[in-house]
Amino acid sequence: MNKFSAFMSSNESDDVKPNILLLKPPPSQPFHAVVAPGRAREVPHTPREVKPALDIQFPLAPYRQTPGPIKTLQTYLRTLVLERWDAEIRLCDESCRAQLSEHIQGPAAHQNLVREMIKVQWNAEKKRCEESCKVQLLELLLAAHGITTLA
């Protein structure tokens, strides 16, 4: 019985090996592939050699490269920033109202405390959104005047 007996039917002899099998070797043995009978005498396939590129590499033609910066109006960018942060602030208000409308279990004092905590949380989130809006608008203003870093 040889090491391939687990892959053979009982009527096959020990000297006939199975078709190509990729076996997971134990950690102590190197990986190997089993070759089908009749193919053992053939020369194994060698990968085709790739010729190294000896010619000079040129950059792609200009039409295939990333375009340069696109000029836009400052007012358009300002409008985009304001719309985005206004939507965030509206979402904070809606989320606060939705959370407050949920039924809160417990005594009245506990319900009032939970409602106050919800209002404080969403007011803090609204304030963060408003400050982020101001920061982004300031960045736009500074970039319009060519100031990209603060020293």
Answer whether residue 79 shows pLDDT above 90.
yes
| Interatomic CA distance for residues 95 and 122, integer angstroms | 8
Mean pLDDT (the chain, rounded): 76
Q: Give residue 148's identity as a one-letter amino acid code.
A: T
pTM: 0.52
Over residues 44-53, the pLDDT tens digits come to 556 666 666 6
Over residues 80-136, the pLDDT tens digits come to 999 999 999 999 999 999 999 988 888 888 889 999 999 999 999 999 999 999 999
Answer whether residue 22 shows pLDDT above 70.
no
Answer whether residue 15 shows pLDDT above 60.
no
Q: Return the closest-CA partner of residue 78 out of 32, 141, 7.
A: 141
Beta carbons within 10 angstroms of residue 143's beta carbon: 12
